[in-house]
Structure 1
């Protein structure tokens, strides 16, 4: 069984997580054969360790960790690899793969560019929902 952890920073305000929850729901809808979970670095739960353990308990044998960060700063370059390595040590029977930050993907860069172009092209600068 395959799992994916969508890993976000976290915030004190619960509404902050809504876009990330929508991403998780979209992935679940598109790939019902994959266990999709959302984990947070701080302020929110579950954290990566809790989320990873839950995926192992659900029978996942392969887990990808996708940082939902626009850039690869200290958390993505230092903290996250250490935490994924801790999971790999705790659960060596599972293949753990840390992916590049979402913001490094050309898909995300182009989506943000299209959003900016939509704003500057709109007379009122309104965004389409």
Structure 2
């Protein structure tokens, strides 16, 4: 019988906020991912005011995960966080968890053309919703 624990995890890394409601959309993304990719372990981490990436990776490793792909849940890759802070954080977590493979999966999610299209469509729906009947 094979081990049902996933060896690969996707860690959504968001900025974080002291307001717990801020994390709701990221949690919703995680729930959608669990449906779309049930073979993956899905975890949430934040840069501040939430679960730290190092703690999340440690828990994943304890659960049998061997590889963690970190996906930044940011709109823009143009700021300090994605240019410097996130790569440094991922490198530090990799050093602290040398038995695991930790990879940073590209830039901000909004650098993906499909995400940009979805955001543009959402903006247009709001225009339609605000138009007089």
Q: 1:66 to 1:125 in 2, by over 3 A?
A: farther
CA-CA distance at 1:64 after TM superposition: 0.5
Q: Which position in structure 2 is the counterpart of 1:102?
A: 109
Q: Which position in structure 1 is the counterpart of 2:89?
A: 83
CA-CA distance at 1:92 after TM superposition: 2.0
Q: Deviations over 1:53-99 (max 9, x none)?
A: 11111111111100100001111111111111112112222221102
Q: State TM-score, norm by structure 2.
A: 0.86
Q: Deviations over 1:32-72 (max 9, x none)?
A: 2111000011122x111111111111111111100100001
| Alignment partner of 2:72 out of 54, 67, 70 | 67
Q: 1:13 to 1:107 in 2, by over 3 A?
A: same
Q: State TM-score, norm by structure 1.
A: 0.89
1:111 and 2:118 are equivalent in the alignment: yes
Partner Cα separation in structure 2 for residue 125 and residue 93 of structure 1: 56
Partner Cα separation in structure 1 for residue 117 and residue 14 of structure 2: 20
- Give unmatched runs, 5+ long, in structure 2: 1-6
Runs of 4+ more than 6 Å apart: none
Listed as ranges, the matches of 1:1-129 within 5 Å are 1-44=7-50, 46-72=51-77, 73-99=79-105, 100-120=107-127, 122=128, 124-125=130-131
Partner Cα separation in structure 2 for residue 94 and residue 15 of structure 1: 32
- How many residue pairs align between the two structures? 124
CA-CA distance at 1:21 after TM superposition: 0.5
Aligned CA-pair RMSD: 1.5
